[in-house]
């Protein structure tokens, strides 16, 4: 409990005891001014800050707020008690009730914020900068993470957070990635493995070679997303703010009419007693009951709690607006490589054409030498499988044949490594490629030497991820990929995807997505984020690469793979999955729908109780106590309901 809350609790207790002590004084027949002054003591102890906030609001021109309404209502209760020979207990009791509700609300909001802060408490406060290289017991000095340059060596001791993204140079340890990915099982890292900032080293010392500045590392990107999330307001949230600005003056005018119109009607039309006191009391109670604070407080808190709950699960949503859009998702479109597949090609099988003349090792060596200078994922996979650095002195005259493969001279003879189109252009007969794998055909001196099968394996759980989307009511799942048709259709069939579009360039992907958006009812004017609204079903695109950035921006909701995803994709996306697990897409949709369900519950409950209370107060069936419950009580219940969104 914060200091301010403890102070408020003490004030409430003192004011309650003083109010209780006033009850016996009612039977002593004290002068009314004395009773008024005695009643003011607990009233001011409990509510002086409410009166002060109301006064400041008037000076700032922000009159029609909750403190103003509560001040007018309770001061009016004192006035009514004095002129109607009633008692003065209602005003301090109402103020006590109100402040008790405020205390409960503050405690609920504080708990929510602390939970969210704990989830996102991943900012490291220092880095151990190593100064003596990789030697055991190397000296280091403690510096701010901002001072560490890329390429520096840092020491991560057991129990410390990794301050900056890097690659393990020395050591082996288990690391806890829960703060980034939501994954509770530690993973082991060793020399050559990448480690993201924000993870916690658990078991042994690690020496890391930093790959980024602190400001560009994973932990900084996450914190920036969280800090900026509040700037992206949901339509529901904006509606509540607009509603409060219009609603408050309307109910103030209604309260004024309630205080004036019925007495005037009674006096001048019916010729009876105007009953000014009764109608003034009803008007004041009407004002208290009308406060829209339950909506104004609980709606943003619901979104805030939802963002925190999603973050704990490794799903970073960049703002409340995207929570709302996610909840309406009806179509999910995936990229293939790196999103539904591992994104790294691996040699699966080596098939010599004539094993008696060429061994598997020799065939792989020829392919690796041909790909010596390659940066293509397939070429790199061949070099990895070869297991050592190709001897470039044996290689000469490398020619990349666009869309087909590579040709080079190895030990003085021409070697070709590529697809069937390359073999056909050279007049070399090659076998038919098996379904679902990429084939690298190898020829030397015009003679076919064999086939190397390479595949990009589906991610474990990718099929279950598609199934989870179906279970969450997603009717349409599609794939847009630049991969060749055979591999794309094989993956789509294995995963149960409805529509597969392959061999697409980045521009083709955008064009295809435009058509899919039009089919969901987006229309031509929905290209910008501001148009991501309306009642139509939303379309989400999931990708990871630089080539996916235009599509991520164009989709209603762009979802990027945060671990292996490019910076461009992460920047363009609206949602980031920190552990690259496609199953998190369904989880993100489920979290958003739970959040919106809570939001709508609060809207319906708050407005429903509010309207009923206003009617009862206006008819004289309920008084100030009912009015306070309709204000503070409903607000507390709505806040408690909102923080359920913390649990994803």
CA dist., res. 276 & res. 260, Å (int): 8
* ∠ CA 59-63-64, rounded to 5°: 170
Q: Is 193 a catalytic residue?
A: no
Q: In what order do the strands lie in the sheet with 447-455?
A: 346-352, 447-455, 438-444, 413-418, 405-410, 395-401
DSSP string, 132-162: STTSTT--EEEE-GGGPPTT-EEEE-TTPBP
Distance of CA 277 to the CA centre of its chain: 53
Alpha carbons within 13 A on the beta-carbon side of 113 = 9
Pairing of β 187-189 and β 153-156? unpaired
Query: Of the candidates 129, 174, 171, which has an alpha carbon nearest to the alpha carbon of residue 153?
Result: 129
Q: Which two tokens stand for residue 323?
A: 């929570």
| Those residues with Cβ within 8 angstroms of residue 269's Cβ, 6 or more apart along the chain or in another chain | none
Closest by Cα among 618, 583, 526, 630 to 256: 618
Question: Which DSSP symbol is given to 632?
Answer: I
Sheet holding 575-577, edge to edge: 315-317, 575-577, 557-561, 538-543, 329-334, 476-480, 499-501
Q: What is the DSSP letter of 8?
A: H
Distance CA 382, CA 385 (A): 5
Q: For residues 289 and 70, give the distance between their C-alpha atoms in angstroms, rounded to a whole number.
A: 9
CB 618 within 8 A of CB 281: no
Q: Is-contact 291 69, C-beta < 8 A?
A: yes
How far from each other are the two terminal CA atoms of the chain, in whole angstroms? 25
Return the residue matching tokens 């309404």: 69
Asked if 43 and 22 touch (Cβ cutoff 8 Å), the reply is no
Distance (Å, whole) CA 575 – CA 585: 9
All residues at 6 or more sequence positions from 139 whose CB lies less than 8 Å from its CB, including other chains: 130, 131, 132
Options 165, 176, 335, 574, the catalytic residue: 335
Q: Phi, psi at residue 398, to the nearest 5°?
A: -75, 130
Helix (H, G, I), strand (E, B) or coil at 393: helix
Cite the active site residues: 335
């Amino acid at each position: 409990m914060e200091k301010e809350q403890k102070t408020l609790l003490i004030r409430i207790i003192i004011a309650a005891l003083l109010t209780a002590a006033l009850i016996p004084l009612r039977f002593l027949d004290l002068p009314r001014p004395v009773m008024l002054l005695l009643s003011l003591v607990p009233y001011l102890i409990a509510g002086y800050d409410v009166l002060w906030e109301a006064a400041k609001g008037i000076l700032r021109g922000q009159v029609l707020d909750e403190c103003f309404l509560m001040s007018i209502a309770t001061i009016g209760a004192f006035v009514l008690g004095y002129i109607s020979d009633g008692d003065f207990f209602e005003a301090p009791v109402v103020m006590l009730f109100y402040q008790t509700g405020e205390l409960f609300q503050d405690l609920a909001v504080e708990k929510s914020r602390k939970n969210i802060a704990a989830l996102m408490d991943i900012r490291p406060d220092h880095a151990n900068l190593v100064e003596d290289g990789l030697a055991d017991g190397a000296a280091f000095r403690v510096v701010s993470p901002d001072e560490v340059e890329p390429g520096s060596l840092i020491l991560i001791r057991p129990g410390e957070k990794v301050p900056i993204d890097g690659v393990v140079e020395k050591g082996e340890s288990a690391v806890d990635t829960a703060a980034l990915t939501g994954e509770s099982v530690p993973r082991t890292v060793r020399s050559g493995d990448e480690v993201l900032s924000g993870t916690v080293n658990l078991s042994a010392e690690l020496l890391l070679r930093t790959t980024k500045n602190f400001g560009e590392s994973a932990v900084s990107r996450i914190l920036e997303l969280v800090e900026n999330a509040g700037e992206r307001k949901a339509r529901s949230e904006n509606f509540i703010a607009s509603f409060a600005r219009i609603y408050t003056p309307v109910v103030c005018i209604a309260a004024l009419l309630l205080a004036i119109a019925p007495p005037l009607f009674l006096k001048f039309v019916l010729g009876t007693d105007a009953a000014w006191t009764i109608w003034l009391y009803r008007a004041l109670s009407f004002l208290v009951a009308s406060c829209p604070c339950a909506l104004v407080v609980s709606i943003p808190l619901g979104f805030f709690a939802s963002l925190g709950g999603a973050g704990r699960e490794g799903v970073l949503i960049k703002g409340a607006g995207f929570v709302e859009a996610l909840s309406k998702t009806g179509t999910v479109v995936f990229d293939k490589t790196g999103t539904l597949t591992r994104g790294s090609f691996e040699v699966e099988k080596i098939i010599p054409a004539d094993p008696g003349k060429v061994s598997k090792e020799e065939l792989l060596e020829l392919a690796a030498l041909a790909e010596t200078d390659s940066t293509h994922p397939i070429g790199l996979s061949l070099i990895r499988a070869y297991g050592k650095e190709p001897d470039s002195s044996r290689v000469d005259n490398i020619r990349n044949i666009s869309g087909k493969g590579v040709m080079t001279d190895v030990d003085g003879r021409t070697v070709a490594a590529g697809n069937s189109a390359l073999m056909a252009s050279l007049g070399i007969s090659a076998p038919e490629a098996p379904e679902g794998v990429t084939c690298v055909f190898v020829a030397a001196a015009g003679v076919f030497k064999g086939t190397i099968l390479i595949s990009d394996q589906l991610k474990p759980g990718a099929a279950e991820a598609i199934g989870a989307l179906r279970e969450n009511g997603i009717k349409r799942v599609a794939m847009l990929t630049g991969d060749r048709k055979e591999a794309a259709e094989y993956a789509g069939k294995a995963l149960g995807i409805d529509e597969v579009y392959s061999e697409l360039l980045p521009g083709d992907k955008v064009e295809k997505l435009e058509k899919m958006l039009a089919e969901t009812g987006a229309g031509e004017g929905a290209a910008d984020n501001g148009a991501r609204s309306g009642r139509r079903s939303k379309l989400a695109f999931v990708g990871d690469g630089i080539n996916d950035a235009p599509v991520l921006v164009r989709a209603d909701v762009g979802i990027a793979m945060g671990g292996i995803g490019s910076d461009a994709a992460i920047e363009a996306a609206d949602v980031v999955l920190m552990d690259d697990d496609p199953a998190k897409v369904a989880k993100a949709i489920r979290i958003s729908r739970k959040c919106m369900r809570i939001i709508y519950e609060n809207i319906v409950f708050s407005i429903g109780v509010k309207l009923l209370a206003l009617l009862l107060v206006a008819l004289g069936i309920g008084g100030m106590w009912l009015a306070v419950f309709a204000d503070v009580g409903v607000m507390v219940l709505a806040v408690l309901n909102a923080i359920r969104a913390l649990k994803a």
